[in-house]
């Protein structure tokens, strides 16, 4: 036995070297995990003299085993991929995920949450629309149901937030592009659908100024989630009127960048870093199709696995009664992925 005091299931998972969902699954039903895993958990229980909050667990068993997963737009491959990772981890913990898409519609977002209330979910993983969301209604929902926000943060709403460090994303790409060629312009939608876009623009401006370069923000018209179409249309206009201030373009996200690649091809411009290339184009997110564009897109990858694991771990802590005075906000750095487009 050790003198270390273990107070939460999360701390126990850390010291025992067993994943948080597996530990939760064991406490719900010891026979649901493999014999070797069960033996490891039971040895760790004796070593650390840990006993879970049985009252909280019994209260939770009055709920269903449903976990709601809500994303803004399931047709977006980024959200499809992160939802897949979340579903796998929820299932591994012995719960049943139910996936919803609000399709970019704030009314649909609230209708989904209202419907979830009738299902009495154990908890919810919510990626809100952001700017378009009904903050008051979401805040009300979060008071009744353990809710973790991911991807898009609504400050102060929900019991925790997990996402990516947008400043890290932009800093990496701007520093790379300026180090290897002309400083980039920033290409974005004038009315972005996702609040991460505003953070990326601000990070671009701050990084360019820190490096001693003049920022050039190109804001194109368009609303909604058809980013490739909006990006292509806006890029065609920029290329046609020759208003692009540099030969390097940093797009707010990969889907806009894919639209820009299509516009460059249609305009007869070669994209890449080398002799004969007229443009360099980079994006953000490492969209699942980015490696298959022509040329393959330079970008910054989101850590899908880490975001999903941390989100599910924190949610199950909330379900089992763990509460902190502060609302945790966990941000993961991205990783620069160099491909032929820049």
- So what's the pLDDT on residue 198? 92
- So what's the pLDDT on residue 23? 78
Do residues 215 and 307 lie in contact, with contact meaning Cβ atoms separated by under 8 Å? no
Cβ of 45: how many Cβ atoms within 10 Å?
Answer: 17
- So what's the pLDDT on residue 42? 79
Residue 60: is its pLDDT beyond 70? no
Chain segment 126-185, per-residue pLDDT in tens: 999 988 899 999 999 998 899 999 999 988 888 899 999 999 999 999 999 999 999 999
Chain segment 214-227, per-residue pLDDT in tens: 999 999 999 888 99
Q: Which residues of 257-293 are buried (b: 16+ CB within 10 A; e: fewer)?
A: bbbbbbbbeeeeeebbbeeebebbbbbbbbbeebeeb
Do residues 309 and 89 lie in contact, with contact meaning Cβ atoms separated by under 8 Å? yes
- So what's the pLDDT on residue 28? 67
Cis peptide bond prior to 295, omega within 30° of 0:
yes
Range name among 62-76, 77-91, 107-121, 314-328 with the lowest pLDDT average: 314-328
Residue 211: partners with Cβ closer than 8 Å, 6 or more residues away:
174, 175, 178, 183
| Distance, CA of 264 to CA of 278 (rounded, Å) | 9
**What domains are there in the chain, each with its CATH number?**
9-52 (no CATH), 64-162+303-331 (3.40.50.2300), 166-301 (3.40.50.2300)
Q: In whole numbers, what is the pLDDT of the chain averaged over residues?
A: 89
Q: How far is CA 294 from the centre of its chain?
A: 25
Do residues 284 and 333 lie in contact, with contact meaning Cβ atoms separated by under 8 Å? no
Range name among 204-213, 284-293, 319-328 with the lowest pLDDT average: 319-328
Cβ of 164: how many Cβ atoms within 10 Å?
Answer: 24
Percent of the chain past pLDDT 70, that is, above it, reads: 92
Residue 252: is its pLDDT beyond 70? yes
- Average pLDDT estimate for 102-121: 92
- So what's the pLDDT on residue 90? 94
| Distance, CA of 285 to CA of 193 (rounded, Å) | 15
């Amino acid at each position: 036995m050790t003198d270390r005091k273990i107070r939460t299931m999360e701390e126990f998972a850390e010291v025992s070297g067993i994943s948080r969902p597996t530990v939760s699954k064991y406490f719900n039903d010891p026979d649901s995990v493999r014999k070797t895993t069960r033996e490891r958990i039971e040895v760790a229980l004796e070593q650390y003299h840990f006993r879970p909050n049985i009252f909280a667990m019994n209260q939770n068993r009055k709920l269903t085993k449903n976990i709601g997963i809500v994303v803004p737009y399931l047709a977006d491959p980024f959200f499809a991929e992160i939802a897949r990772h979340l579903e796998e981890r929820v299932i591994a913990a012995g719960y049943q995920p139910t996936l919803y898409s609000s399709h970019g519609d704030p009314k649909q977002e609230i209708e989904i949450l209202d419907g979830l209330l009738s299902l009495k979910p154990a908890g919810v993983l919510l990626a809100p629309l952001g700017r378009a969301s009904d903050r008051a209604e979401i805040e009300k929902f979060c008071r009744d149901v353990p809710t973790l926000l991911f991807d898009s943060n609504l400050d102060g709403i929900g019991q925790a937030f997990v996402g990516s460090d947008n400043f890290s994303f932009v800093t990496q790409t701007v520093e790379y592009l300026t180090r290897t060629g002309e400083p980039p312009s920033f290409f974005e939608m004038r009315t972005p659908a996702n609040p991460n876009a505003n953070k990326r623009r601000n990070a671009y401006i701050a990084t360019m100024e820190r490096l001693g370069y003049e920022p050039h923000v190109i804001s194109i018209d368009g609303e909604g989630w058809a980013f490739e179409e909006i990006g292509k249309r806006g890029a065609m206009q920029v290329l046609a009127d020759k208003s692009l201030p540099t030969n390097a373009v940093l797009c707010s996200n990969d889907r806009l960048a894919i639209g820009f690649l299509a516009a460059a091809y249609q305009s007869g411009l070669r994209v890449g870093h080398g002799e004969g290339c007229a443009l360099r184009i980079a994006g953000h997110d490492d969209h699942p199709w980015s490696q298959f564009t022509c040329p393959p897109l330079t970008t910054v990858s989101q850590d899908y696995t880490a975001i999903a694991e941390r989100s599910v771990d924190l949610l199950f802590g909330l379900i089992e009664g763990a509460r902190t005075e502060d609302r945790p906000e966990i941000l993961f750095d991205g990783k620069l992925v160099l491909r032929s487009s820049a």
